Structure 1
C-alpha cells in the first residue's frame, strides 16, 4: 500500500503532463509570422492605412480590405489581426504587407504569454526589464523597454492587463509606435 505522500506524488506525476496539454498558448512571434490562434479563440482582420487607429476602426471608421487595396495612397497599408482568446484577453497583431508582425498590443483579464508573443525578441525584453528594475531599485509595476530595435510597454493589475510591443525599424512608412494599441 502506498503512503499518502507517495500517492500524492503519483497523482501529480500523472496530472502534470495532462495539464500541460490543456494549456493553450497563442504562438506568434514579433518580427515573424502571426500567431496560430488556440481553438477557443475568435479572429478578425482589418486592412488599415497609416494614421487610422484600430480603436476608431472598430467603431466603423475603418476602410474595408477591398477599398484599401484599390486606394492610390502612397502609404502602404497594413493589417491588424485581432484575436480574442478564450480567457477574454484580446491580442492585436500588426502585420506588414509581407505578413510579418511588426507590432503587438494586448488587453484583458490575463496577461498573454510574452515569450510566445515576442518570439526571438523575448531575451532582449527580459534583459531590458532586468536593467530597468535594477536602475530603479527593483520592485514590480509597469514595464517599459525602449531600445532602438525593440519597444515594449506593459502594465496593469490583476484582471486588467495591457501592453504594446513593436519593432521601430520594421514600422511601415506613416506608422508610429502610438498606432500600436
Structure 2
C-alpha cells in the first residue's frame, strides 16, 4: 500500500511544478518596475488608494486575469490572479521564486492540495481554488507603502 505522506508530498510537488511552469504574458516581476505603456495584453494603469498604488491588469495566455500592483514610484509590490489556469509564478515572483519554493517545500503534508500559504520574510504567496478556478496573490510585505495592507490586493 502506498505511503499517504509520500503520495501527498508527491502531489504537492507536482502542483508547485505546474504553478512554476504555466505560461503568462507578464513582462515584469515582483520588485521590478511596472511598464508605463499599455500593450495589447494589458490595460492602462489606474491609481488606487489616493495615489499610494497603481494597478495594471493583464490577461495571460491561459486566460487568467492578473492584477499587478505598484507603488507610486513604479516598484511592483504585489500580484493577484484569478482564472482557469495558474499564472507562471516563476515569472511573476522573479528573484523571489526560490524563496517561495524553499517555503513551499517545508509545508506539512495536510492533504489539502488546492490551497496553500507560503509566508517568508521577503515574500508571501497565497494560492487556491478548485480545478480550472485558480485564484491567489503574492506580495512583498516589507515593500508595502504606509497605509497599504495585503487586504488591498484583490
Alignment of 1:21-170 (within 5 A): 25-34=25-34, 41-49=41-49, 77-132=52-107, 135-136=108-109, 140-170=113-143
Instruction: Name the SS of the counterpart of 1:79 in structure 2.
Output: strand
Q: Does 1:179 align with 2:152?
A: yes
| Deviation digits for residues 42-83 of structure 1 (CA, Å, limit 9, x no counterpart) | 42321011xxxxxxxxxxxxxxxxxx5xxxxxxx52101111
Instruction: Name the SS of the counterpart of 1:31 in structure 2.
Output: coil
Where structure 1 has 5 or more consecutive residues not aligned to the other structure, the ranges are 1-22, 50-67, 69-75
Larger Rg: 1
The alpha carbon displacement at 1:98 in A equals 1.5
Cα distance in structure 2, aligned partners of 1:100 and 1:157: 31
The alpha carbon displacement at 1:178 in A equals 1.1
Distance 1:83 1:25, change over 3 A: closer
Cα distance in structure 2, aligned partners of 1:36 and 1:157: 34
Distance 1:169 1:89, change over 3 A: same
Higher helix share: 1
Instruction: Name the SS of the counterpart of 2:90 in structure 1.
Output: helix
Instruction: Name the SS of the counterpart of 2:27 in structure 1.
Output: coil
The alpha carbon displacement at 1:86 in A equals 4.5
TM-score (norm 1): 0.64
The alpha carbon displacement at 1:143 in A equals 1.4
Conserved? CA contact 2:25–2:60, under 8 Å: no
